[in-house]
Amino acid sequence: MRRMEQHGLTLDEVDGLTGSLIGRARSATFRTGDLSGLDVLAHVTKGIGAITGEDFALPAWVHEELVGKGRLGDKTGGGFYQKTKQGTLTFDWKSKAYVPQQRLEGGDIGAAIRLPVPQRLPAIKNLPGAPGAFIRDHVVDVAHYTLTLASQLAHDLVAIDRAMEWGYGWEAGPFQVMDALGLDWLKQEFKAAGLDIPALLELAQGSFYKNGEYLTFDGTYEPIPGIPGRISLAGLAQTGRVLEDNGLSRLIDLGDGVACFEFRSKMNTLGQSVLEGLEKSLRTIEKLGFNGMVIGNEDARVFTAGADLSGVSFAVAAGAWDDIAQSISGFQNSVMSIRRAPFPVVVAPAGMTLGGGCEFTLHADAVQAHAEAYIGLVEVGVGLLPGGGGTKELLMRFTSELQQYDEVDLFAAVKRAFKLIAFASTSTSAHEARAMGLLRDRDRISMNRDQHLNDAKQRVLDLAPGYLPPAERTVRALGREGIGNLEYALWAAKEAGQASAHDVRVGRAVAYVLCGGDGAPRDVTEQDILDLEREQFLSLLGTKETQERIAYTLKTGKPLRN
């Protein structure tokens, strides 16, 4: 906070710099404060200062304008950030007022975030302006503080790195960060800042980690200790445990009759080769008599970005509508094969779990999500609706929860599903995904990424004895009456300037599917809704506006409002 004031930055800028960019949790600094509570933040910093003798006092505006006025974060409806019907507001520490949020994205920072951590971190050394100066000051200060105190606080530097990764959601611990930045660069920055060169840095021979070993506090290098319960897919692959591999996906034997299906495409997108790999893997597991399957990977940032839009765009340009229809049907069959497999399938999402990845998750027997899982059906952003069973599954899930009760209004279930889909709602954590209904009460959450796949494997073994696939479901569809209610909401949004004409068209398609089509209320099967999904998906894909949205997103990575 003091450094933010020193460099004249905003809360939005600091959160953009201290989150994913430097390999830390996406909630970064101030969003984390809102989650934990500003009263807790004030109490803990005061306690740490009293114990250590260091100055951890928060700026006066935190106490006077936020804590003192009961603005304590999420639990009071606002703190550093405040959510309103018009969007998220950010507290401006200069004017002491809330202003519209301005996320720091795009440019050099947007490009850097998409890189792996070892390549991403060096990019901050060349960031221009006050943001660059701020983040360099920050990482240099953290590095010096860590190097100075490390031997007083832990038996080895590996323990420190793991504590920060497991406890705070860092992609890389402070010593791994230092290796990525370069130790010579750190020495140069320490000297420029008038700081001493810590003894531990002088002991390092080029890096803290090398060739599977780490630097001990006495200057020798020792083998990195293993992590109990950690499953390394790369390690298993090197020892001949690959059962299937088509280049873009592979099936790996985890032991104990459980295999893991791993995406390996760019951004783990779900193209045709990945879907073919899934179908073959399901057959292989059944043939081998395995207990079940995990769907997961070791990428902390991206479980999957969803379906491969580039393939869809190419097919549209070629006018291959029959092929497109067949591909959508094939995607639906792949997703439903997860649900219909004669053995338990556990999906283990971590990081971005969007579109088709969310649909995979919704159809699993159980989900073992990492706490940092960002799950959502985001297809409306490109002018489409979830066409791989996602619309169907939310309708079935929410309606089934209600229709067991007498005289209940089933429109509440339709409305709940509609809001998630029409607003492309994405969870900021696995716990929020549970509150949204994207995860169920029986789904579980792993806090430790290193033990995530093992947790998922154990879940398969829990479900395997006496396993039977879930029965096909029917629900009561509301028909024309339900569509009318949702169309009124769409009309109101358009009149208020909150939706374009094409947004309304997409919303109507979602409403049509969720209400089981036009007509009288009736009982519908899962296949009935899947057929409607496919029909409306193709209808939207044939519009000029949706094609423009897809092309724009592929080019810029951002949604287009047209």
Contact 382, 550 (CB under 8 A): yes
Domain boundary among 223, 245, 264: 223
Residue 521 lies in a domain: yes
Residue 143 lies in a domain: yes
Read off the pLDDT of residues 311-370 as tens digits, 9 standing for 90 and up.
999 999 999 999 999 999 999 999 999 999 999 999 999 999 999 999 999 999 999 999
% of the chain beyond a pLDDT of 90: 88
Contact 451, 439 (CB under 8 A): no
Do 115 and 29 lie in a common domain?
Answer: yes
pLDDT score of 115: 82
Q: Provide the domain count of the chain.
A: 3
Global confidence as pTM: 0.80
Is the pLDDT confidence value at 558 over 90? no
The closest alpha carbon to 280, from 230, 341, 189, belongs to 341
Do 161 and 247 lie in a common domain?
Answer: no
Q: In CATH, what number is assigned to the domain containing residue 180?
A: 1.10.1040.50
Is the pLDDT confidence value at 64 over 70? yes
Residue 303 lies in a domain: yes
Q: In CATH, what number is assigned to the domain containing residue 284?
A: 3.90.226.10
pLDDT score of 82: 95
Residue 393 lies in a domain: no
Do 45 and 82 lie in a common domain?
Answer: yes
Is the pLDDT confidence value at 427 over 90? yes
pLDDT grade for 106, boundaries at 50, 70 and 90: low
Do 189 and 64 lie in a common domain?
Answer: yes
Read off the pLDDT of residues 67-79 as tens digits, 9 standing for 90 and up.
999 999 999 999 9
Do 369 and 454 lie in a common domain?
Answer: yes
Do 409 and 432 lie in a common domain?
Answer: no
Read off the pLDDT of residues 433-451 as tens digits, 9 standing for 90 and up.
999 999 999 999 998 888 9
Do 249 and 174 lie in a common domain?
Answer: no
Range of the domain at 431: 229-378+426-470
Do 188 and 277 lie in a common domain?
Answer: no
User: Would strands 258-263 and 249-255 be described as parallel, antiparallel, or unpaired?
Assistant: antiparallel
Do 135 and 248 lie in a common domain?
Answer: no
Read off the pLDDT of residues 360-382 as tens digits, 9 standing for 90 and up.
999 999 999 999 899 999 999 99
Do 262 and 217 lie in a common domain?
Answer: no
- The three-class DSSP label of residue 182 is coil
Residue 386 lies in a domain: no
Q: Measured between alpha carbons, how far is 434 from 344 in angstroms, rounded to an integer?
A: 21
> With 0-12 CB in 10 A as exposed, 13-18 as middle and 19+ as buried, what is 513?
buried
- Count of other CB atoms within 10 angstroms of residue 505: 17
pLDDT grade for 168, boundaries at 50, 70 and 90: confident
pLDDT grade for 424, boundaries at 50, 70 and 90: very high
* 176-180, 196-200, 390-394, 553-557, range with the lowest pLDDT: 553-557
Residue 392 lies in a domain: no
Domain boundary among 191, 223, 255: 223
Residue 335 lies in a domain: yes
Do 461 and 435 lie in a common domain?
Answer: yes
pLDDT score of 49: 95
Across the chain, mean pLDDT equals: 95
Domain boundary among 190, 208, 223: 223
Residue 385 lies in a domain: no
Average pLDDT value for residue range 534-554: 96
User: Phi and psi (nearest 5°) for 246?
Assistant: -115, 15
Is the pLDDT confidence value at 183 over 90? yes
Do 177 and 52 lie in a common domain?
Answer: yes
Q: Measured between alpha carbons, how far is 465 from 17 in angstroms, rounded to an integer?
A: 48
